[in-house]
Amino acid sequence: MPRDRIEMLPGLPIDRDGPVFAEPWQAQAFALALKLCDAGHFTWAEWVETLSAVLREGTPDDGSNYYGRWLVALERLCFAKSLTDSSALESRRDAWADAYRSTPHGVPVELRRGAGSDQ
């Protein structure tokens, strides 16, 4: 990721090697935003503007919820760009929750092909 993109992101947890993630889902949400931007679904400026707005909402925190807010911004921008809708998102959330609840401890959670989609 170009350094100038990283520097545009308000509050991004970074170290000398780049972005820092505490959980795998954080890296996945980060990568998804980059992929959607690189695919032309929105500009980097739109992403930074949306993320900045979400970070300003609510009460300030210590940064521990940064990627939670990242996800809110990603959902908001995907809705605005008609990349998904609330029904599809709710269906996918339910499918992941079901997969999580039915997966034995210590086994990676996997979503069945087609689960949580409108196909």
Q: Of the candidates 13, 17, 37, 35, which has an alpha carbon nearest to the alpha carbon of residue 26?
A: 13
pLDDT at 36: 97
Domain limits of the chain?
A: 3-84, 85-119
pLDDT at 69: 94
pLDDT at 32: 95
Q: Chunked in runs of 10, what are the mean pLDDT values of the chain (119 residues)?
A: 76 88 92 96 95 88 87 95 92 88 89 65
pLDDT at 35: 96
Q: Can you give the chain as a three-state secondary structure string?
A: CCHHHHHHCCCCCEECCEECCCCHHHHHHHHHHHHHHHCCCCCHHHHHHHHHHHHHCCCCCCCCCHHHHHHHHHHHHHHHCCCCCHHHHHHHHHHHHHHHHHCCCCCCCCCCCCCCCCC
pLDDT at 114: 66
pLDDT at 16: 87
Q: Of the candidates 2, 86, 87, which has an alpha carbon nearest to the alpha carbon of residue 37?
A: 2
